[in-house]
Amino acid sequence: MTVTAYTLAVVLDLLVLFIGARFLFQPQAAAAGYGVPAKPDGDAAYLTIKGLRDAALGVIGLALLAFAGARAEAWFMLMVAIVPLGDTLIVLRHGGTKAVAYGIHFATAVAVLVSAGLLFAV
């Protein structure tokens, strides 16, 4: 179970780091993938903010796992699950599809909570 717990945590941390990088380097495509496309003439600063937030969360998660251990990462995962849960609501409230809201964002929240549970069990 230890290998599974650590592997899932690393994969989720790297995934959110990748998503952050995508918002920094391909903001329009990333916003479309998020489930609420950005307006072409909109304020790109908000997409950059999301990219920085996600990239930072990925780096923090990896650092916690590497330097503080499984228990610290478990607490981090438990707390950070609020982000994909919030993303679910944002997509639903702003015209995104239920498939994206639940199939991507809510499913991610569940995976993050499973990761937290596995890390607490280590």
Across the chain, mean pLDDT equals 96
**Token duo for residue 107:** 């499913």
44-88: per-residue pLDDT in tens?
A: 899 999 999 999 999 999 999 999 999 999 999 999 999 999 999
Least confident range from 36-40, 96-100, 113-117: namely 36-40
pTM assigned to the model = 0.94
Phi first, then psi, for residue 68 (nearest 5°) are -115, -20
Segments in 26-106 forming alpha helices (H): 27-34, 44-67, 70-80, 82-93, 98-100
> Rounded CA gap, 29 and 25, in Å?
9
The pLDDT, as a whole number, for residue 59 is: 98
Q: Tokens 């069990």 sit at which residue?
A: 121
